């Protein structure tokens, strides 16, 4: 059985400070073996110099296999990049802008997507944003906003401000496909936090390992649906790596897989070594998504109960609740600073204070954090 007490010794470096790390929704602690992965990347570079890309590709392939195992699809349909913004922008660059100038999304998307879509809007792209204030009707409103000239539907599966699991998204996905629009689902707050139930096998799915997977920075992905023929305008030289020696004539060519089509260019492979070390550790410890979810639900339920009397924005219903708990408080950023002075690390988005537990946090630490919060913010 997984328990915080059993796991804590493996996270000794991150937990040495004694702080309560309620950052599980943002930056989870890395197990100590992650350091071994970083050192392995250095040793391979020292031993092989420019020939390090063979071992580096093996690390990347291990990451692709882990992602495909979680989300379904083939590993060679998983494109990797340093961040999701790079992948989302590559996706956007592949849309048929001559014929379609309309996008459908929500007002609850993370800043990288929000900002990029706002900038496109300034260039004449029409962006329809559905309010997330009533998530139980969000999918239906997204579907209703789709038009014959819609290029894509872009939506999160779990909202990053409130930890709300968006229901019935498959309904909106199907509406998009009926008019020939593409679908991109942001699963960053879903991946390794909740078991994946396939919403749409034809959807592009993006996310990363910075949060619940404990992989750290630089390990983001785009699951490309099988058979996709999109041709990103924003394209890197890895997209046709196998044919670089051939004469470069005619239309720009792409590799045969989804990972090829949405590939970038030269990158720092250290992150993939680190991620592979963590993947192996999780497998050895039986840290499946289902097991992690069971711990998370117990922890978030404890937090919701402790926050009774405050304006909790996260659903109480376990099926509707993601991996963290949000409470609305005035001057949330000041509360974050006050909590940090008491050794409790968390964050805020606007007036939304987010508490993100993790599998290595004990009940005593959760209680300490809630006591600190109540000492700062009255009900």
For helices 33-48 and 53-71, angle between their N-to-C axes, nearest 10 degrees: 140
Region 13-18: mean pLDDT is 97
pLDDT exceeds 70 at position 364: yes
Selection from 297, 355, 351 nearest residue 326 by Cα = 355
Q: Which of left, alpha, beta for 216 (phi over 0: left; psi -120 to 50: alpha)?
A: left
Q: What is the pLDDT of residue 29?
A: 98
Cα 73–Cα 173–Cα 171 angle in degrees, nearest 5: 120
Tell me the sheet residues that pair with 128.
104
Region 316-341: mean pLDDT is 97
Region 142-153: mean pLDDT is 98
Q: What is the pLDDT of residue 181?
A: 98
How far apart are the C-alpha atoms of 361 and 15, rounded to whole Å? 10
Tell me the sheet residues that pair with 121.
none
Contact between 313 and 162 (Cβ < 8 Å): yes
pLDDT exceeds 80 at position 242: no
Q: What is the pLDDT of residue 75?
A: 98
Which domains does the chain show, CATH number per domain?
Answer: 4-24+288-376 (3.90.1150.10), 35-279 (3.40.640.10)
How far apart are the C-alpha atoms of 323 and 164, rounded to whole Å? 9
pLDDT exceeds 70 at position 61: yes
Which residues have CB under 8 Å from 353's CB, separation 6+? Answer: 326, 327, 328, 329, 332, 335, 336, 346, 347
Tell me the sheet residues that pair with 182.
152
**What backbone phi and psi angles, to 5 degrees, belong to 40?**
-65, -40
pLDDT exceeds 80 at position 246: no
Summarize pLDDT for 177-227 with one digit per residue, the tens: 999 999 999 999 999 999 999 999 999 999 999 999 999 999 999 999 999
pLDDT exceeds 90 at position 247: no
**109 or 244, greater pLDDT:** 109
Selection from 252, 189, 196, 254 nearest residue 228 by Cα = 254
Summarize pLDDT for 96-140 with one digit per residue, the tens: 999 999 999 999 999 999 999 999 999 999 999 999 999 999 999
Tokens coding 169? 């998204």
CA-based R_g, the chain, Å: 21
Any idea how long the chain is?
379
Residue 210 per-residue DSSP state:
S
Summarize pLDDT for 251-307 with one digit per residue, the tens: 898 998 999 999 999 999 999 999 999 999 999 999 999 999 999 999 999 999 999
Q: What is the pLDDT of residue 245?
A: 66
Q: Taking all residues of the chain, what is their mean pLDDT, rounded to a whole number?
A: 96
Q: What is the pLDDT of residue 379?
A: 83
For the chain, the distance separating the N- and C-terminal CA atoms, rounded to the nearest angstrom, is 36
3-state secondary structure of 76: helix
How far apart are the C-alpha atoms of 99 and 77, rounded to whole Å? 27
Region 58-78: mean pLDDT is 97
Contact between 261 and 230 (Cβ < 8 Å): yes
How far apart are the C-alpha atoms of 353 and 368, rounded to whole Å? 17
**What backbone phi and psi angles, to 5 degrees, belong to 56?**
-65, -40
pLDDT exceeds 70 at position 156: yes
């Amino acid at each position: 059985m997984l328990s915080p007490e059993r796991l804590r010794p493996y996270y000794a470096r991150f937990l040495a400070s004694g702080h309560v790390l309620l950052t599980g929704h943002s930056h989870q602690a890395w197990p100590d073996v992650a350091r071994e992965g970083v050192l392995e990347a250095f040793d391979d570079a020292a031993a092989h110099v420019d020939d390090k890309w063979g071992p580096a590709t093996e690390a990347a392939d291990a990451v692709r296999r882990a992602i495909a195992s979680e989300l379904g699809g083939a590993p060679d349909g998983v494109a990797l990049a340093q961040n999701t913004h790079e992948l989302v922008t590559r996706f956007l660059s592949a849309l048929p802008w001559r014929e379609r100038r309309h996008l459908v999304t929500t007002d609850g998307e993370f800043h990288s997507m929000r900002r990029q879509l706002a900038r496109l809007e300034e260039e004449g792209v029409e962006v329809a944003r559905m309010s997330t204030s009533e998530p139980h009707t969000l999918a239906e409103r997204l579907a209703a906003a789709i038009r014959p000239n819609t290029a894509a539907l872009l939506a999160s599966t779990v909202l990053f401000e409130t930890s709300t699991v968006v229901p019935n998204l498959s309904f909106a996905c199907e509406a998009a496909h009926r008019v020939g629009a593409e679908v991109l689902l942001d699963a960053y707050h879903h991946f390794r936090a909740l078991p994946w139930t396939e919403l749409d096998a034809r959807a592009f799915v993006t996310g990363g390992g910075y949060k619940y997977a404990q992989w750290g920075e630089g390990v983001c992905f785009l699951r490309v649906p099988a058979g996709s023929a999109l041709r990103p305008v924003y394209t890197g030289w890895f997209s046709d790596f196998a044919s670089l020696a051939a004469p470069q004539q005619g239309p720009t060519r792409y590799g045969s897989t989804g990972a090829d089509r949405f590939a970038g260019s030269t990158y720092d492979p250290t992150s993939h070594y680190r991620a592979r070390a963590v993947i192996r550790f999780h497998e050895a410890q039986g840290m499946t998504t289902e097991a992690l979810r069971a711990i998370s639900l117990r922890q978030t339920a404890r937090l919701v109960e402790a926050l009774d009397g405050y304006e909790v924005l996260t659903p109480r219903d376990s099926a509707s609740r993601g991996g963290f708990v949000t409470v609305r408080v005035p001057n949330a950023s000041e509360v974050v600073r006050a909590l940090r002075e008491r050794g409790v690390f968390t964050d805020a988005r606007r007036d939304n204070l987010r508490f993100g537990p993790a599998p290595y946090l004990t009940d005593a630490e959760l209680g300490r954090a809630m006591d600190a919060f109540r000492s700062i913010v009255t009900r």
